Structures are given as structure tokens and as C-alpha cells.
Amino acid sequence: MRLTTWNVNGIRNPFSYQPWNSARTFPAMFDILGSDIIVMQELKIQRKDLRDDMVLLDGWDCYFSLPKHKKGYSGVGMYTRNATCSPIRAEEGLLGVLPSPSGVPYCELPEEESIGGYPSEFQIAELGVDPAELDAEGRCLVLEFPAFVLLGVYSPANSNGMRDDFRYGFICTLDCRIRNLMRAGKRVVLVGDLNVSRDELDGASALEDIRKAAITHEEYISTPNRRIFNQLLIGGEVIGPRDEGREEGVLWDTTRGLHPDRKGMYTHWEQKINARPGNFGSRIDFVLVCVSMQSWVKDANTQEGLLGSDHCPVYADFHDTVRSHGNEVSLSDEMSPPGVFQKGVRIKEWKVLDVPPFSGKRLPEFDKRRSIKSMFAAPSLRQSSSIALEPPIKPLSPVKQAETVGPVIASHEFPRPSSTAPDSIGTTASPALKRKESVSAKPKPSKRQKSDTPTLAAKGQRSMKGFLSKGKARATELPTRTAGEEQQTNQRFSTPEPPSTPTASVPSLPDTATTADQHPHPTTAPPSAPASPTSSTLSAFTDASPSSFTAHAASISATQRTWSTLFSRPIAPLCEGHSEPCKTMQTKKKGSNQGRSFWMCARPLGPSGGKEKGTQWRCGTFVWGSEWQGRRGEERVEEAG
């Protein structure tokens, strides 16, 4: 069995990348991941945004914890493969204060219906957090299997110090809930984006951050969130005495435990600086298991080659046979409700009614819905029984049949009756066969038929002779034009000639009895005929001298260049290290330069995280946008001079 966690940065975001954009379906994505349980963070949707292709997946069950107030923010989702596992309980939130599907808060449900481990009132008071606010952002989803309790978490990020108290309260509450569950005798697995790293090995910029902040290694390790996290981990580095209640670590880091010395094992890269190609990132996504499950893990790793987000998937593989309560058992038996599997063989089929009420398929908007595949899987017994019990329809008498059929036949010959007319069908037919009353409406104009339809080609195109004779007949039907009209047409579309001298122009009256072919030279148009703009323009260019024509063309070309320069993208400067076009960025850091644009090398950041010289990574080119505009202006002035 494989368990995968992935911050997708938007539930549909991966479908814009390979290999997910080939099929663009969640089952196809899950097959590529090869997982039985997929935990997604940062879905960025609300409940009203759920769609059939997210919920009604054949062979999969789903659970969602979505933000209650903020739109397009956080959100956690879990998908479980029905063929291998099925939870026995499901809920959202760390404190259990949110209402369950029955309306009762999870922490107030009976013990057999709740997962447990909720912080007590005394513990909540010590944490100093608002329970409703903490659980309302859709940051934690909890599923309980007979084998363990799975927590999928999206921890708050460090937002420039704006929410440090909320972030610290969240990780303290998470630590409290996990320890309470383990004191109750339950195994715990924690996965997700925790937005905190263990030490310098898990961050490419850690050493630079220490240098800039002018702090020591001990101070870096002892930052509030990192200290709580390391006390939760087995083997986590803790400076000084441990906190009360956190005397020992309880979770094992699977990826670091199996790869203790690997460098550059990152799971997140900053997109704004294009840090992924150079692997300048951090490891903040984890799969953590309790001590008793350490022997269950067969493999764990990151999948940095799979694109689709600023994070990469992280997975853990478990053995098919594990040791539970002193016995060797099949993991399938421990991952589904009792009686579903026996020694790894399924003996009971999966049903929607057997899943927890919090399942996405049991939401009111999806409860009565089915996928197309399930509709054709088996006939509905209820439908067949209803058809069998339906009473036979009594046949109509010949007189009533004539009354019923009469209006139908007449409707093809006469306009349809209005909706206010009495309906004879409703008085004769049974209620089961009653049709809706016809509504009078304006007839829609019929589409124009093509000229090669069979009805038109039946008579005239049976032979070549008939086709030609038909063409001649159509030609004789065309109306003839007068000589004056033909002359105006020739003048409009012919190339103008130089005007003749006054003595050579002899006025002539238009002759309507003759055609334009009898006049070899164009004559003067009648006064009533309007002059063509095209002809006058061409005549002006013909009369102009070559020098004036060249000057006019140059002015037009200059105007075009001016407008194209105004609306085209600015020309990028070339970077100093590679002589390649730079990219433009904007300063977002608060200060005097906030909002200013600048140019920098377009290549990705290197593994060192700094600007390099003579390498394939980003060089140190930096030009303010205003300065580059000034340089371009000076160059244009020099070109004009």
C-alpha cells in the first residue's frame, strides 16, 4: 500500500502540466501516482465549487475539509481506493468543535462515533487559540482506519510575521492532538505540508538566512515553530531541556529516516524566482509515522520529477504483511472495517452506505447522484418492480381515438392552436399519458438550404446537356445593364489615365442603346455620377512629383513606427553574463522601492542560491526599469540625430 501527500496549489492546477494534461481526470492522476491514499493540500476551493468529476469517482471515496469563510484559500482533501482501504470514521478540524453531519460537534459525539484525542478545556486555555477560528480554515482532515489514525494537515505559512500567533497556536494544537491520540492507545500517521523545516539540511537558503539574521545555529534551531516540531519528531534536535509534556518524540520522519545523508532532498521551490531547475528549495512536506509503525514502512521518497505545483509529491510504501498487537496480519485486514477483508481476501463488497457520513459521496448535493458507469452496471430492481406494478392503460374507444388523432393531423395543415384553447387530449387520455399543453410561439426561420440539395438537383442535373442548358437559361434571365451603368463600373475598377487636354475632351451624350464595348477610350462621366475615393487618391499620387511622393511615404512609415513602438512590448536589455534578453519583475517588498519594475537575468537560480558568474545559472544583471527607459530614450535621440 502506498500513501502520498501533495500540495497541489489548486485542485485543478496539475492538469496544466505533463503527464496530467493528457487525460485530465483524477483517476488517471491517481493511477500515475500509484497510491491507495492520496492527501492533497491547498485545494483553493469552497464547498460550492465541488463538481462531479471531483466527488463521483468510480473506485474511490473522498473527504474534504474546506474553508468556511475565505474563498480560494487552503483546503485539504483525501481520496481512498475502495479496493484496498476504507476508513471507519472521518472528521475535520483539530479541536473537534465543528459540527458533524448530524449537527453535533465532533467532540460531543458518543465515544463509539468519534475519533477522540480532542484537547481538553484546560489544554485549549493553555494554547491560547480561538477554537472556531482555528478549525474554520480547512486545514486538517482526520480519517481513522483500524490500523491507525491519519491526519492530513496544511499548516499556516510564515506570512511576513502577520500571523505568527495563529501559526504557533496551530502547530501546538497539532502536537497536543497527536499526543492525546497516542495516550489513548491509537497509532498515528501525520502527513501534509507543515510549512516548517527541521534543520539546515532541509533548506537551501538556511545558511544564508542565518548569516543575514546574524544568529547562531542554536538560535536557528530554537525558533518557536521549529522547536515544537523537533520535539514531536524522534531524533529531532532540541536545544536545552524539553518542554513539559513533550519529554520525548513520538513520530518518525520516513524520508529522512531512510535517506539520512541525502542533500538537496527538497519538496518545495519558490516559483517567483524559478528556483526548481536549480533545486534551490526546502523540505516542508512530510510523511510521519508513530514508533510502532516504523517497521511497517518499506520505502519512502520524494517525487521531484513530477510537475504540476510548486511542491512535489512525497510518498511512503508499506509492507503487505505487518506486525500488529504481536501478530503477523495482512495490512488489507487492518485498513478496512472488520469483516471486509480476511487474510487479504475481500469477503464483503464496498457500499456507499458503509462509508462514514462525512464522505463526499454522502453530501446532500451528491447523495442521490450516480456516475454514468454505475448507471449501466446493473438494472435497477426498484424500476423493474414499479413497471411490473403499473396498471395497464385502458384503450381508447374509436370515437375518442378519432377526436384525439384529428387535431394532430390538422396541426400539419393549419396554424397551431393557442394555449387558451380547450385540450381534448387531457379529457380522454389517462393521467400517465397526459402531455403538456402546447404553447404558441413564433415559428423559427428555417435554415437556408444548400444549392446542392437533392430536391434542386433532381431535374436539371441528370445529364451534362441538361446542366449546360440550365446554365444558358439562367444566363438569359440575368437583367441587362445600360451603357451608362457599364461605363461607370469600368471607370471605378479600371486604372486611371492621365487627364487629357481641354481641346481633346469632347463631350458626348451617354447612349443607352449601345454597350461599353463600342467605346475603345473612356469618356467623361456624367455629372450625376459620384467620383470614387480610390480613383481620386490614385490620381493624386499620379499627379504628385517623385520627391513629394517619397516624403509622404516616409511620413507614413514614421507614423507607423511610432504607433508600433507605443503599443509593443518594451525591448529587454541583454544580461551581462549570457547576452540573453532579461525578464522584468516588480518589487513587492515594502519600502521606498515598492512597486518599481526592474530587469534581471531570466535564467533560473542556481543551487547556491546566489548570483553566479561564468556558470549556466542566473548572473548578477540588475537594471531598474526607469533607468532602462532613459537609456532607450537617449539611443532614440542619437538615432534621430
Q: What angle do CA 257, 261, 263 make, to 5 degrees?
A: 115
Q: How many helices and strands (H and E) does the chain possess? A: 20, 21
Q: Which of helix, strand or coil describes residue 63?
A: strand
Question: Residue 354 has which C-alpha cell?
Answer: 458503509
Annotated binding residue 195: yes
Active-site pick, 79, 268, 311, 315: 311
DSSP string across 15-43: GGSTTTTTT--HHHHHHHHT-SEEEEE--
154 is catalytic: yes
578 is catalytic: no
Cα–Cα dist 612/599, whole Å: 16
Annotated binding residue 209: no
Annotated binding residue 311: yes
Cα–Cα dist 37/152, whole Å: 11
Q: Which residue has 510548486 as its cell numbers?
A: 310
Active-site pick, 36, 61, 135, 193: 193
List, as own/partner pairs, every contact residues 164-168 make where C-beta atoms lie below 8 angstroms and the sequence separation is at least 24, other chains included. Answer: 164/224, 165/128, 166/129, 166/133, 166/134, 167/195, 167/225, 168/224, 168/225, 168/228
CB 90 within 8 A of CB 154: no
Burial tier of 270 (Cβ tally within 10 Å: 0-12, 13-18, 19+):
middle
Active-site pick, 79, 118, 154, 266: 154
CB 86 within 8 A of CB 354: yes
Question: Residue 558 has which C-alpha cell?
Answer: 514614421
Annotated binding residue 578: no
Annotated binding residue 82: no
CB 627 within 8 A of CB 300: no
- The helix (run of H) or strand (run of E) holding residue 131 is helix 131-135
Annotated binding residue 158: no
Q: Which residue has 424500476 as its cell numbers?
A: 383
Q: What angle do CA 623, 624, 628 make, to 5 degrees?
A: 80
CB 107 within 8 A of CB 118: yes
Reported as half-sphere exposure (CB side, CA atoms, 13 A), residue 315 has a value of 20
Partners of residue 99 on adjacent β-strands: 105
In this structure, what DSSP letter does residue 120 have?
P
CB 174 within 8 A of CB 155: yes
Q: Which residues are annotated as a binding site?
A: 7, 42, 193, 195, 310-311
Residues of each annotated binding site for Mg(2+): 7, 42, 193, 195, 310-311
Annotated active-site positions, please? 154, 193, 311
